[in-house]
Each structure stands twice: as C-alpha cells, then as structure tokens.
Amino acid sequence: MSLQPGTRLGPYEIKEAAGSGGMGDVYRAHDVRLDRDVAVKTLKGPFSERFEREAHAISALNHPNICTLFDVGQHEGSGYLVMEFIEGKPIAGPMPVEQAITYGVQICEALHAAHRKGIIHRDLKPANILVTKQGIKLLDFGLAKLAATGSGVMAAPAGSAAEQATLAALTGAHTVVGTPQYMAPEQIEAREVDARTDIFAFGCVLYELITGHRAFEGQTSSSIMAAVLATKPRPIEELVPLTPPALERIISRCLAKDPEDRWHTARDVAAELQWVSQGGSKVGLPALVSGRRRVRESLAWVACGLATIAALAFAVAWMRRAPEPAPVVRFPLLVPAKVQNPSPPIVSPDGRHIVFAGDADGKRLVWLRPLEALEARPLPGTEGVLRPFWSPDSRFVAFVAGGKLKKVDIAGGPPQTICDAPTGADGSWSPAGVILFDGQGTDPLRRVDVSGGVSQPVVLEEGKTDGTPGAGWPEFLPDGKHFLYTVEDPAAAGRMTLMVGASTQRSPRPSSRPPRRSSSSSPGTCSLSGSGPWSHRNSTPRPRRSKASPSLLARISPLGPSAWRRFPRRAMASSSSAPVSWRAHGCSGSIAVAEIRR
C-alpha cells in the first residue's frame, strides 16, 4: 500500500515517506486531532480481527525504551499502525565496551517489560533499535507476528540484500518470520518461540555492537541460517582484546543453540551486564592453580616487591634531578572556511576545548572546537554574541547577546538567561559561582550569581558604591578570589592600567599596562589566534612558591617593531594549572609579554 503526501487515514495526514522494509512502508504523518507528528506503518496483507487483537495487545506496552503504539486501522483493505514518531538513528557497532553494556541493559529492560505481558519481538536487530538523546528505543515490537497474522506468508522484497531483508517462509503449518543473522535456531526450524528467542537475537546484537562484526555470516539467507544452526561465532577476545571474560560468557550463553541453555529472562541478562559494568569482571585474572603454581606465584610477588623498591628509588632520584624545559608542541587549528572575523580563541579550564565568536551565514555565533576534533561547530541559540568566556568546570560557555548575559551547556540544550546586560561585553566566571562583566564607556564592573538575578556594581574603591567608571575586561585569577581588570590611565590618554581586585580588598593595586585583554585558566595548554591559522602549544610553566597575600610581580618586555609585523594584532589564551599565568598582548607597533606571579 503506497501513500502519497496529503493522503488522509482517518485523522492522520501523510506528510512524507520515512522508510521502507520487508513488512511495509513507514510514513511521517500529522495527527490533526491532537496536533502531533506520528509514524504510520503500513503492513502487507489484509486487515483481520486477529490483527486488531494483536495490535491492541502491543499498544498496552508502556516503557521508556519501547516505541509506543497509538492506534491501528485499515485503508483499502490493508492494515496500518500509528506509532510514536522518534528522531534518532539505528544503533551500530563497533563501540566502546562500556557504552555497549549501557545500551544492552536498556534493551534488556525493554524486552523484559514486553515479555511480562506475553509479547515477543521476533525480529530484534540493529535496524529496529534507535539511539536517541534520551537513550534506546525499540521499534516494531511484535510486528513480525502481526505481519504473519495478516498475510499468512511474508516474503522479502525483490532484490533486497540478505542481511537487510526481513525473511519469511512457510514451513508446514508454521510461519517463519525474522532476519536471518538474528534468528534463533527454533525460529529457523519453525518451532514455538518464546522470550528466549529474543534473548538469542539480543546476543547477536550485543556481539555486533562490541566487535563490529555479525555473529553469523553468509552470502545467502540459506547459508546464514545454516551457520546459525551449526557454527559458533568467533571468540570476541580475538576481535576485541581485553574484553571482560564475564561479558563473553554472557553473550555465549545468549547464543546457545538450545533455548534451555540460554538465560531464561531478559532481566537476568540485564543484571549480569550491570555486574560487569560495576567491575565484577576483570581481564586476565588467572584461575586457582596447584601448589606448585602457588610457589611460582609467591616468587613472582617477591620479585615484584623488589622491583617496586627499585622503582621507588629511581623515582626519588628522578624527582631530585635538575628540571628540564617542558617540550613545546605546535600544530595548526584551522578556522572553518565559512567563518569570518573570528574573535581571539579562549581555552577551556580543563584544556580540552576552544571557543571563539565568528560570523557565518549572516550570524555571529559561538563556535566550539574540541582539541581532539577536526572542525569547530556552532552552538545554537548564541546569535549576536560579543565575546564568550568559560565556566570553571568547562561545562558552560557564558556570553552577552541581545542585551542579556546568558550561559549555554556545551553538551547541548538552549541558552539560559542569567541577567540583563544592556551594554555588557566581556566577563569572567569564578569557581564560587559569581560572574563579573563589564559594560561600555564609563560603565562600571558588575557582578551577578550564575543562578540568575539582578546584577550589582562591583565596589573597587572606598566611597564609590556605584562602582569604578570605565573599569573593564575582568578576569578571575586561578585562586577564585582575586581578579584582574583594566582602567584607563588618567595621566596618559589611550593607555590602560592592569589592576588587581579582591573580594576582601577595597583598594586595588596596579599590575601593568597591557594593551589587550588577559586571562588565566588550566591545565597546561595555550593557543594563539590572528590573521592566519590558529596554533596550539603545550606550555606548563614552572611552579613558583605562593605568598601569604597576593602580590603583583609583573614584567613588561616590549619587542621591536619587526616582531610586531610578523604577528599582527594577535591575542593569546592560556590554560595552566600551575600558579604562574602568562600571556602575550599586541599594541600599536609592538608586542608586550606580561608575567603575573602569585
């Protein structure tokens, strides 16, 4: 049954085709009564009372990992199902063992919920398992049985690959329905199926998620089914070394040829997987051995003890050696081709990400670049950003846009408004949960709690309860108590003085005269931006002894104009866990290097 956009099936209006399979076609539709998008799946074969009874039984399933069945009906003599519309992609391997176990537990919980109501999936495979933002969703529960109920025989579509088709063949009085690579032996032989049939299919799926290979291979459906009946899969440890032995035992028992030898319930499998994820299975642990083996083990422990003592002695000598300069590694971090006018890059405190503002497609957005990734990506909802800055835990990026101070989670989600900031520009976020941000012209520094509220002026000098006019570019130091900011030098127009303020200090101290903004974070990386590609280096300054109270030991070392011509208008962001933070600043015709020690 083929449906065109605009076709109405009762209250469901077809919007577009979403997919096709051996049991029917899937369409995206709109429920005009409840104003929601749904998925309509048409099934091959006539509509019958038994079909309707089976569909109503499936609709009783209510589980967060199972796609919900909303309605059932018939159109031009054929049955159709109305289901929850899910945005996601089919699960696929290989993936890390920990992630595969997490997904496997969710799949087992969904299977157990269905099995308790007497519903067997019969066609569990990666194509029927979607990965969404909320977790796993199982599709087409019991539809293989519905297809057999409605049509008696269900054949794979002509020309489809054996590994993709849902196979059906009539054997005597029984109907075989499923996908060859994931069918249990009793399913192939057209014997009665139960919950253990789904457990066999789950074992095939979990094997594939961990290894990236199917448990049973073959060129045709017949050869695949013969492999299921007569062969065992290749050991997982050969494909993925250091796989926990207990995990391979769990999968092997799922794939037992005799249903009596398998796990009897999906809940049992879930419990075993959770035990493995909690460290219940270790790789390479030897079994108990004879007395002679125990003697050899005792000698090995003695040797290990001596080796440990020698290693400790070597470590002490190594720590007392003369310090060597830390190696410097540089490589380019290119800005995406469509991004124009990038702002200076800001390194996250954990040294794993970089953010910057840039213009693309007529919008100025915050762009996020993990250091292990190849390209930067924009953060949605950050249109109109000025200059972003990081939270201390590197989870959030804060910014001013549209007269509001906002924050956005880099893992995903819409931006959250913290407070009004009609003239805000730059800011800094302290570990204590306080944000300082500046304004424009003679606006003072303001502070606000990250949870939101009304911002208040920062009192930096006695008697100036409305704040210091023109203070700008705030930046918290690593101790979270002191912060840097700039004020215009009254004795020299256009020159800025770097000041240090503290929550317990009313009279700020001058630090240096930087022409550009400074910042400090952690744990040992820095980046440069300018007219060309970005560069990234590993820079861990030598630790220096901290003093009881913060003091300013700043040094400005100007370079010649020739050096400035080589690095036009560059700004540097750093990340360092050591108590020394340094950065480079550009000013008209020279580069100044400021070193600030605590």
pLDDT for position 142 = 63
Residue among 472, 414, 409, 468 at smallest CA distance from 439: 472
Please say if the pLDDT value at position 567 is more than 80. no
Residue 137: burial class (beta carbons within 10 Å; 0-12, 13-18, 19+):
buried
pLDDT for position 199 = 97
- The phi and psi torsions of 130 (rounded to 5 degrees) equal -100, 140
217 vs 228: CA distance, rounded Å: 9
95 alpha-carbon distance from chain centroid: 13
> In whole numbers, what is the pLDDT of the chain averaged over residues?
77
34 vs 11: CA distance, rounded Å: 9
pLDDT tens across 114-171, in order? Answer: 999 889 999 999 999 999 999 999 988 766 555 454 433 333 333 344 334 444 433 3
pLDDT tens across 42-76, in order? Answer: 887 777 776 777 677 778 889 999 999 999 888 88
Q: Where are the domains of the chain?
A: 8-84, 89-280, 293-322, 330-597
The larger pLDDT score, comparing residue 217 to residue 316, is at 217
pLDDT tens across 410-465, in order? Answer: 998 899 999 999 888 889 999 989 999 988 888 888 999 999 899 988 888 777 77
39 alpha-carbon distance from chain centroid: 27
The larger pLDDT score, comparing residue 319 to residue 284, is at 319
Confidence at 289, pLDDT banded by 50, 70, 90: very low
587 vs 6: CA distance, rounded Å: 64
Chosen CATH of 8-84 out of 3.30.930.10, 3.30.200.20, 3.40.50.12280, 3.20.20.70: 3.30.200.20
Question: 330-597: what fold?
Answer: Methylamine Dehydrogenase; Chain H (2.130.10)
Place of tokens 């750093």: 574
pLDDT tens across 168-193, in order? Answer: 433 333 455 678 999 999 999 999 99
Are 8-84 and 89-280 in the same CATH fold?
Answer: no
pLDDT tens across 222-273, in order? Answer: 999 999 999 999 999 999 998 999 999 999 999 999 999 999 999 999 999 9
> Cα-Cα-Cα-Cα dihedral of 233, 236, 239, 241, to 10°?
-160
192 vs 321: CA distance, rounded Å: 74
Question: Which of 9-13, 279-283, 291-295 is the least confident region?
Answer: 291-295
The larger pLDDT score, comparing residue 210 to residue 476, is at 210
Report how far apart, in Å, the C-alpha atoms of 519 and of each of 347, 433, 475, 477, 532 are.
10, 18, 6, 8, 22
Per DSSP, the three-state class of 350 is: coil
pTM of the model: 0.47
Query: How much of the chain exceeds pLDDT 70, in percent?
Result: 71
Asked: is 89-280 a CATH 1.10.510.10 domain? The reply is yes
The larger pLDDT score, comparing residue 85 to residue 537, is at 85
